[in-house]
Amino acid sequence: MNIRKRIYNVIGPGYLTEDGGLSEKYHFCMSFVIGVSIFPLMFRDHLEIFTYFDVIPAIIFVIDYILRWITADYELKKGWVSFIIYPFTLMAIIDLLSILPTIHMLSPTFKAARITRLLRILRVVKFIRYYEPLEIIMAVVKRQGRTLWTVFSLAAFYIFITALIMFNAEEDINPSTGEYLFPTFFDAIYWAACTLTTVGYGDIYPVSQVGRFISMISAFVGVAIVALPSGIITAGYLDELKARRERQMSRKLLKQQHQLDVNDHELD
């Protein structure tokens, strides 16, 4: 086995590689490093020790980025073209942007920009690669993308229709403000989205009998629409989890069979 393949077996998804145990340890360590790197974001003041919390993880992120780039052909499976495509993949872009905030250590001008703090937050997205439950959910979303997009389109259409009806039906003046309940159509969209998701902040609510009736219907239908993607993702999550366990079991059996063959060969 060449060294690049061995590296990919460690940094790649453990359930798909031959070094699952070592890969899990690597992913745990990277998750810890990500947690350390975002720890300073929980404070307003910048302590001196936070400099190490930024520089050391950034160096590790750079090494991880390089390792993933030199093993891109195993990940993307498109031959030498993989090395050209990889820097433009979503996760590679996120990896690069999460490293950029450390430049403020070298450039005082960049340090003054608030964008550095926002870019550090992107490091949270890196957890998707190293935290298996999140990785599974992303795999499910990718596989069920068309179905989820259909549900999302249905929800968006329902929000628009409900907002349009309410905007024209609720024409009474709100006694607490002395103004229309929905001064703009965006306010109606905001109300419809909150009602659909059953959030109910309470900052905008109908005051007329017609508006309250429409709100009740919207809430009932909203519960059903919100439940659709939850069911799709839950079913897909269980299927993906089962498939991964079967692949892991199959790999263990093959490895055991290979070891038995080697032992038999040595005995002969």
Give pLDDT tens digits for 162-217. 888 888 887 766 666 667 777 888 888 888 888 887 777 777 777 778 888 888 88
145 or 164: whose pLDDT is higher? Answer: 164
Share of the chain above pLDDT 70, in %: 81
Predicted TM-score (pTM) of the model is: 0.63
**In which band, very low, low, confident or very high, does the pLDDT at 112 lie, cut at 50, 70 and 90?**
very low
Helix 209-267, helix 185-196: angle, nearest 10:
50
Query: Which residues partner with 180 through β-bridges?
Result: 173
Q: What is the mean pLDDT of the chain?
A: 79
Mean pLDDT of 233-250: 80
Using the Cα atoms of residue 228, residue 126, residue 105 and residue 49 in order, give the sign of their dihedral: positive
- Give the Cα separation of 148 and 164 in Å (integer): 24
**In which band, very low, low, confident or very high, does the pLDDT at 67 lie, cut at 50, 70 and 90?**
very high
37 or 135: whose pLDDT is higher? Answer: 37
